[in-house]
Amino acid sequence: TTAATLIDGRACAERVLADVERQSQALRQEGITPGLAVVLVGEDPASQVYVRNKMRKAEAVGIRSFEYRFDDTLKQAELLTLLAKLNADPEINGILVQLPLPATIDEHAVLQAIDPRKDVDGFHVENVGGLIQGRDALAPCTPTGCLQLLKQQCGDLAGKHAVVIGRSNIVGKPMAALLLAEHCSVSVIHSRSVAPEALARQADIVVVAVGRPEMVDARWIKPGAVVIDVGINRRQQHDGKTRLVGDVDFASVALIASAITPVPGGVGPMTIALLMHNTLKATRLQHASAESL
């Protein structure tokens, strides 16, 4: 028996995508077709699935997508040359380099080589800085999607105590910055935190992005808290089949939380929808600045 409300990420993502589609149709009326370049280096199976889904979704909402695939022998210099070309191409409004990159390539150098105005993942230092300063920057898709789910569920977040578990540059840190901008009091838990359960149990909102299957159970959660589970883990079952699970132990937490995202069907669909949203935002940004020249 589930006591908590299920937060429906698929339905929320559909609403975001419908809005993106409307906007891309409006741009087409002005002769502008948004374009997204997706760069994949290496053979990581999960990355291949993510890239395929992103390309499909882009086409479905009227964004032209361009795929650039390389094997893991690609040299960093060659990747930088490609990015320079994409930066200069007016048909490309968004550039996404699928992570992780092979160990031979310096991830930071690559992300910094993307024009910040085309940085739809929001990983360029200029956009990260903009997010921290509370400016209207291109913000990372996963935490922005989590924030939308939280606002939909809770309304105004001002004054709430939010605990973010995990401090990666992709999820945890930008999540903390976004919640702070919404006037939450924010605590961040990581692998060196002492008594993390007791801290998390004080929170009204818990966002979990640790990459450890079902680590956060009911002991971490205050009754009535809202729980967002970012984790995507493949767990082997007794019958040998694998099943997707989050970083939250759904069965125990759903009995005590007031609302919770499922895995799958929670944060995952929002990430991809926010990527499309950012591509539209980038397109409008680029055309607005071209007009004001």
Q: What residue numbers does the annotated binding site cover?
A: 166-168, 232
Choose one: 35-43, 61-69, 77-85, 207-215; the region binding ligand NDP (CB under 6 A): 207-215
| Site residues (CB under 6 A) for ligand NDP, limited to 56-85 | none
- H/E stretch holding 163 reads strand 161-165
Residue in 23, 54, 118, 249 annotated catalytic: 54
Question: Which of 138, 125, 53 is closest to 93 using CA atoms?
Answer: 138
Collapse the DSSP code of 198 into the 3-class scheme (helix H, G, I; strand E, B; otherwise coil) and give the result: helix
Choose one: 19-27, 72-80, 156-164, 208-216; the region binding ligand NDP (CB under 6 A): 208-216
Give the contact letters, 114-143, x = binds to ligand NDP (CB under 6 A), - = no. ----------------------------x-
In the complex, the smallest distance separating the C-beta of residue 46 from ligand NDP, rounded to whole angstroms, is 8
Question: Which of 292, 288, 282 is closest to 87 using CA atoms?
Answer: 282
- Tokens, residue 154: 């809770």
CA 79 to each of CA 51, 73, 74, 109: distance values in angstroms, whole numbers, following the listed order:
17, 11, 7, 10
- Nearer to ligand NDP by Cβ, of 92 and 164: the residue is 164
Choose one: 83-91, 252-260, 265-273, 282-290; the region binding ligand NDP (CB under 6 A): 265-273
Question: Which of 118, 142, 116, 136 is closest to 280 using CA atoms?
Answer: 118
- H/E stretch holding 51 reads helix 45-60
25 a catalytic residue: no
Single out the residue of 98, 271, 278, 279 in contact with ligand NDP (rule: CB under 6 A): 271
d(CA 30, CA 192): 53
Collapse the DSSP code of 106 into the 3-class scheme (helix H, G, I; strand E, B; otherwise coil) and give the result: coil
29 a catalytic residue: no
| Site residues (CB under 6 A) for ligand NDP, limited to 20-39 | none
Question: Which of 17, 11, 9 is closest to 265 using CA atoms?
Answer: 9
Asked if 187 is part of the footprint of ligand NDP (rule: CB under 6 A), the reply reads: no
121 a catalytic residue: yes
DSSP code at position 36: E
Residue in 115, 118, 119, 121 annotated catalytic: 121
Asked if 94 is part of the footprint of ligand NDP (rule: CB under 6 A), the reply reads: no
Catalytic residues: 54, 98, 121
Binding residues for ligand NDP, per CB under 6 A?
142, 165-168, 170-172, 189-193, 196, 209-212, 230-233, 247, 267-268, 271
